[in-house]
Amino acid sequence: MADTTITPDTTAPDRGNAYGQSSAPLSPRRRTRARATAGSGRMAALLVSPTLLVLTIVVFYPTLMALRESLYGPKGLDPKTGFIRTTEPFVGLRNYADVFGAAGDRFWNAFGNTTFFTVVTVALETVIGVAMALIMHRAFRGRALVRAGILVPWAVPTAISALLWRWIFNSDGVANAILGHQILWTTEGFHAKVAVIVAEVWKTAPFIGLLVLAGLQVIPKEVYEAARIDGASALRQFWHITLPLVKPALLVAVLFRCLDALRMFDLPYILIGAQKNSVETLSMLAQNEASNVRFGPASAYAVLLFLYVLLMALAFVRLLGTDLVSDRDGRKASRSRHRRNPAARRAKEGRAA
Amino acid sequence: MSLTAKWRNGMLYVGVVAVVAYCLAPFYWMLVSSLRRTSDIFDTSLLPSPVSFENYQAVFDPSQGFTRALLNSLIVAGVTTALALLLATFTAYAMARLEFRFKRLILTLIIATSMFPVVSIVVPLLKLFTDVGWINTYQAMIVPSMSFTLPLAVWNLTTFFRQMPDELEHAAMIDGCTRGQAFRRVIIPLAAPGIFTTAIITFIAAWNEFLIALSMTNKSAMQTAPVAISKFSGATQFETPFGSQMAAGVLVTVPLVVLVLVFQRRIVAGLTAGAAK
């Protein structure tokens, strides 16, 4: 749903090539695309439809259900069964309007927390991740070891890492022992936010490092040699060569992390607890409302979070422009071709630099 | 080696150690804590003394239901991975090899679904599953998990299939295979490493899932391992059994860490292919 609005213009040139007038000469690069036939179309439909069907059932249909549901409730409990009554009052947009009313405090608090966590953690992760990538890129001995090491935080389930940090941040835990202070990290307050941020950054900074490292490894050495000959300092090299060339990989990583941070749930839920003002995120709020069978408001919060994520994704796509969406196929095609032809790769990347 | 080169090398070494320490220190702390006796769980020494497996025994105490939780996790993550791989292999092949209308739109849509906030689908599905009596069932956890594992698998496999030269299939088709036969006999065996890598990444994602498993269960017998561990109870209500939590955490994490260590090169290839083009 996110990209239906952007895809038409980004795909247009491509489709023009593949499906445009057959009389139009096809560029040699697109030659393989001309294979499109009615037969392959049918086969594609056959191969793709199971996935689309499943995603319709588990994503698109629930999203529509959430939209509908958000217009109903809040409904009473049936005193006999403890379950909700089957009839829920239609309230229109009241669940959304309530967000701006007196009862909206909890929503805006969660909204603020979500935004705060996203901005702070992604910023820290990016800085630490890039630093890690630069170090790993230079290290020749033990690179495999380092790479395996940075995968460990990624592989630890978030729920387990939350318990781990809860233990570290315990009042008698190792964090306080190292700091020599008695801080009640996992109680309400700003320090609870700090605990969540530290734990989140630990888990995800290595991931950004990994993606940036992948970006660094495709930068040809010649570019740096040329810069060194021209007398550029290490800092200038980083700022004017490394950063621009690694930018596409970095931006994709940052986009992914942002979207992921916006739906943060496990970490604050386990590390600090449910219904804690200082760390409650939108996901936690929606889940909490739903588990208390207040499906109407829960759905409204979920829809609002969904819109927030969507907006963020669209903003990024706008910002990234062609890098993220439209160039995906083209670059991959040219890359895999270059892999077989190192000379061409060097020539092209040299030009790009 | 000149002095500056030596100094640079030294700095690099320090940097590498810092990175590894940053990543592993908390994990090491989990390991060490799990090996302490309950009586000296609050020790802050770097090595447990004496080493004790008390916490591991406590984890497998029948009252915690941890074995069942592990089994639940294995079933949910395993079935999710198998289903996602099966569907994704077909779709990814079409994405990588066939030319059809709306291909890019479909791929973008599939990828975009993996970015949806899980809670937006959990809330309506929770209501639906409550109505049809699916709460505390495996399918109530497997079906929603497809929402993020399927796009992940499609994306990863598409990248792997694309990296394989077209010529292989052309040769097979010239030799008389149909496209389907070429796919089964040539592509699948050759793509096996890629499929395997995708399986690991998908499995880890499904294994780590918490929100769905938490929302769709209220019976402890149906909880997955992460949910069960987070609900471990101590001897008294106000005591958090950190020792057994750490031990259970180690048990849940070590298989993944071993997978990561053995297949790190492949996993890195899979992750970076899927995310940073």
CATH value of A107-296 in 1.20.1250.20, 3.40.50.720, 2.30.36.70, 1.10.3720.10: 1.10.3720.10
Inter-chain touch B99–A295, beta carbons under 8 Å: no
Angstroms from B189 CA to nearest CA on chain A:
19
Q: Does any domain span residue B171?
A: yes
pLDDT category of residue A170 using cuts at 50, 70 and 90: confident
CB A348 within 8 A of CB A283: no
What pLDDT is recorded for position A218?
Answer: 83
* Nearest residue to A251 via CA among A259, A239, A241: A259
Inter-chain touch B147–A19, beta carbons under 8 Å: no
Query: What whole-number distance in Å separates Cα of residue A127 and Cα of residue A118?
Result: 14
Inter-chain touch B108–A7, beta carbons under 8 Å: yes
Inter-chain touch B249–A263, beta carbons under 8 Å: no
Question: What would the pLDDT profile of A20-45 be if each residue is shown by its tens digit?
Answer: 334 444 444 444 444 445 677 788 88
What pLDDT is recorded for position A81?
Answer: 62
Please tell me the total count of domains within chain B.
Answer: 1
Q: Which of B16, B24, B110 sits opposite A139 (nearest CB)?
A: B16
pLDDT category of residue A346 using cuts at 50, 70 and 90: very low
Tokens of A83: 């379950």
Q: Does any domain span residue B35?
A: no
Give yes or no for residue A118 having a pLDDT over 90: yes
Averaged confidence pLDDT in chain A = 77
Sort out which chain B residues have CB atoms less than 8 A from A69's CB and list them: 123-124, 127
Q: Does any domain span residue B43?
A: no
| Residue B239 region by backbone torsions, left for phi larger than 0, else alpha for psi between -120 and 50, else beta | beta
Sort out which chain B residues have CB atoms less than 8 A from A252's CB and list them: 275-277
What pLDDT is recorded for position B14?
Answer: 87
**Residue B244: which CATH number?**
1.10.3720.10
What pLDDT is recorded for position A85?
Answer: 59
What pLDDT is recorded for position A23?
Answer: 40
CA distance to A25, A64, A297, B120, B123, per residue, from A67 (Å): 47, 5, 11, 10, 11
What pLDDT is recorded for position A30?
Answer: 43
Poorest-pLDDT segment among A97-101, A112-116, A120-124, A131-135: A97-101
Inter-chain touch A51–B112, beta carbons under 8 Å: no
Give yes or no for residue B97 having a pLDDT over 50: yes
CB of A192 less than 8 A from some CB of B: no
Question: What would the pLDDT profile of B178-201 be if each residue is shown by its tens digit?
Answer: 777 887 888 888 888 889 999 999
Q: Which of B22, B119, B256 sits opposite A286 (nearest CB)?
A: B119
What pLDDT is recorded for position A78?
Answer: 58
CB of A19 less than 8 A from some CB of B: yes
What pLDDT is recorded for position A337?
Answer: 40
The domain limits of chain A are 107-296
Q: Which of A11, A57, A128, A167 best tests the B interface by mutation, with the highest count of B CBs <10 A?
A: A167
What pLDDT is recorded for position A24?
Answer: 42
Question: What would the pLDDT profile of A243-284 be if each residue is shown by its tens digit?
Answer: 888 888 888 888 889 999 999 999 999 999 888 889 999 999
CB of A256 less than 8 A from some CB of B: yes
What pLDDT is recorded for position A84?
Answer: 57
* Residue scoring higher pLDDT (A188 or B2): A188
CA distance to A133, A148, A270, B2, per residue, from A142 (Å): 14, 10, 35, 22
Q: Which of A18, A157, A333 sits opposite B99 (nearest CB)?
A: A18
Poorest-pLDDT segment among A121-130, A165-174, B168-177: B168-177
Q: Which of A58, A156, A309 sits opposite B115 (nearest CB)?
A: A309
- Chain B contacts in chain A segment 308-327 (CB below 8 A): 309, 313, 325
pLDDT category of residue B110 using cuts at 50, 70 and 90: confident
Angstroms from A322 CA to nearest CA on chain B:
13
Beta bridge partners of A90: A72
Query: What whole-number distance in Å separates Cα of residue A179 and Cα of residue A166?
Result: 16
What's the pTM value of the predicted model, to 2 decimals? Answer: 0.83
CB of A152 less than 8 A from some CB of B: yes
Residues above pLDDT 70, as percent of chain B:
96
Inter-chain touch A3–B112, beta carbons under 8 Å: yes
pLDDT category of residue A327 using cuts at 50, 70 and 90: very low
What pLDDT is recorded for position A80?
Answer: 59
Q: Which of B16, B27, B162 sits opposite A152 (nearest CB)?
A: B27
Angstroms from B187 CA to nearest CA on chain A:
15
Residues above pLDDT 70, as percent of chain A:
75
Inter-chain touch B98–A44, beta carbons under 8 Å: yes
CB of A170 less than 8 A from some CB of B: yes
Sort out which chain B residues have CB atoms less than 8 A from A165's CB and list them: 26
- Three-state secondary structure call for residue A26: coil
Sort out which chain A residues have CB atoms less than 8 A from B88's CB and list them: 51
Angstroms from A245 CA to nearest CA on chain B:
13
Interface confidence, given as ipTM, is: 0.90
Q: Does any domain span residue B148?
A: yes
Angstroms from B199 CA to nearest CA on chain A:
14
Inter-chain touch A153–B105, beta carbons under 8 Å: no
What pLDDT is recorded for position B274?
Answer: 54
Q: Which of A41, A266, A283 sits opposite B101 (nearest CB)?
A: A41
Question: What would the pLDDT profile of A86-107 be if each residue is shown by its tens digit?
Answer: 667 777 788 888 888 777 889 9
Inter-chain touch A41–B100, beta carbons under 8 Å: yes
Q: Which of A139, A159, A309 sits opposite B210 (nearest CB)?
A: A159
CB B128 within 8 A of CB A70: no
Question: What would the pLDDT profile of B62-87 be if each residue is shown by its tens digit?
Answer: 877 899 999 999 999 999 999 999 99
Question: What would the pLDDT profile of B115-137 be if each residue is shown by its tens digit?
Answer: 788 998 998 898 889 889 999 99
What pLDDT is recorded for position B50?
Answer: 81
Ordered DSSP codes for B237-249: TT---HHHHHHHH
Angstroms from A312 CA to nearest CA on chain B:
11
Ordered DSSP codes for A202-261: HHHHHHHHHHHHHHHHTS-HHHHHHHHHTT--HHHHIIIIIHHHHHHHHHHHHHHHHHHH
- Interface size A-B, in CB pairs within 8 Å, comes to 323
* Residue scoring higher pLDDT (A77 or A335): A77
Inter-chain touch A58–B144, beta carbons under 8 Å: yes
pLDDT category of residue A148 using cuts at 50, 70 and 90: confident
DSSP annotation of B64? G
Q: Which of B98, B208, B259 sits opposite A157 (nearest CB)?
A: B208
Inter-chain touch B116–A157, beta carbons under 8 Å: no
Inter-chain touch B109–A14, beta carbons under 8 Å: no
* Residue scoring higher pLDDT (B258 or A327): B258
Backbone φ and ψ for A9, nearest 5 degrees, come out as -75, -30
* Residue scoring higher pLDDT (A312 or B234): A312
The mean pLDDT value for B246-253 works out to 92
Give yes or no for residue A323 having a pLDDT over 60: no
Q: Does any domain span residue B163?
A: yes
Minimal Cα distance from B140: which residue of A? A58
Q: Does any domain span residue B11?
A: no
Inter-chain touch A44–B94, beta carbons under 8 Å: yes
Range of the domain at B125: 56-275
Ordered DSSP codes for A108-124: HHHHHHHHHHHHHHHHH
